Structure 1
């Protein structure tokens, strides 16, 4: 039996060639054309409920979603690093004023392309908005506060919507990752304010909220290309 490993090693080469075109006059292999801008509908499908998670609080909802299309250096937050003032205010109070200003600054520097803002909504439920991306800013990040909570939020984190051939994906579903902003030490959804001093770092949220230590995802991000 022939070993399949050599074929597997050639797979990236095949994918790369598939993304290229050939000049019919000279036979020269040309790189794939750079894709034009794309418009995506971003839907957060929240499934957080008393049936999916223990200790489900009354009035459970998510704050107004906010995010941006950006380059690799245009992240809104980085796990393992301290939260910005914008992330802190969003995660603790659902206030997007500072985070909106931070995104505007990323836009001014060229690191971000477009801003996305939606409304708050109760869970379970859904919210949708649209955003444009381009080849220089093919990544998407969106955040929203888990409310009520001390400083917890869910995110679509640095999702690259160009596929392996450099073309826009038609549709993608991504589990909503939950994070602790590291700025409030409250242990429960409705705990009073307990500022973390000094502040910690953004980290995955780990709470006994379901059948596993961190529980099932609080929802799903559905990304659909419109044009």
Structure 2
């Protein structure tokens, strides 16, 4: 089964259920995450840098009561490194820890995204770990990142959402 999720602010991210054979067959549902960067000279004519882009996307599927970050609270070390440099190794280590402790299920790194432009990755979910968080560094910036979070399963009626579109938010990594 394939599904889609979207995030939009400077960016639009879409999650859509999909079928895939790229190591994702152990999950209840696999979602294609599409990240659409709409930040451009036409959307920000006086504030658009010539080298605008986003780092590789990182995505984590997790329980609905788990949060990768809280607005207004200090970012984790891995999230700060992602926000400052775009490097994904540290946050993926944090994601692996969350998977090993049972809070999360699947973690993926996707492509760099030019702006305007788009990138896509797939992520697996289950009925108990059906929330997804997607993150990317905003560049050029000292420590800003874009984030989106979606819950993909309606626990009241036991149904998966076929497609979810959400607006991403931009946040200061706090360093």
Please tell me the TM-score bracket, short chain as reference.
0.7 to 0.9
Aligned residue pairs total: 147
Residue by residue, what CA displacement relative to the aligned partner does 1:34-75 show, whole Å, maximum 9, x if unpaired? xx8111100001100011023111111000000210013432
How far apart in 1 are the matches of 2:111 and 2:89?
14
Say yes or no: does 1:102 pair with 2:94.
yes
Structure 2 counterpart of 1:148, from 132, 140, 148: 140
Q: Which residue of 2 aligns with 1:160?
A: 151
Could you tell me whether the CA contact under 8 Å between 1:74 and 1:106 is conserved in 2?
A: no
Could you tell me whether the CA contact under 8 Å between 2:54 and 2:112 is conserved in 1?
A: yes
Structure 2 residue runs without a partner (length 5+): 1-26
Structure 1 counterpart of 2:33, from 26, 39, 42: 42
Greater fraction strand = 2
Q: Which residue of 2 aligns with 1:131?
A: 123
Tell me whether 100-109 or 77-86 shows the greater mean CA deviation. Answer: 77-86
Q: Which residue of 2 aligns with 1:180?
A: 172
Aligned Cα root-mean-square deviation (Å):
1.2
The structural deviation recorded for 1:99 is 0.3
How far apart in 1 are the matches of 2:163 and 2:64?
21
SS at match of 2:160: coil
How far apart in 1 are the matches of 2:72 and 2:63?
20
1:73-84 to structure 2, matched below 5 A, reads 73-84=65-76
How far apart in 2 are the matches of 1:47 and 1:72?
28
**Higher alpha-carbon Rg:** 1
Could you tell me whether the CA contact under 8 Å between 1:37 and 1:135 is conserved in 2?
A: yes
Which 4+ stretches in 1 moved above 6 angstroms? none
The structural deviation recorded for 1:79 is 1.1
- Structure 1 length-normalised TM: 0.62
Structure 1 residue runs without a partner (length 5+): 1-35, 184-227
How far apart in 2 are the matches of 1:176 and 1:48?
12
Tell me whether 163-172 or 132-141 shows the greater mean CA deviation. Answer: 163-172
Could you tell me whether the CA contact under 8 Å between 2:30 and 2:125 is conserved in 1?
A: yes
How far apart in 2 are the matches of 1:128 and 1:96?
16
Could you tell me whether the CA contact under 8 Å between 2:59 and 2:123 is conserved in 1?
A: no
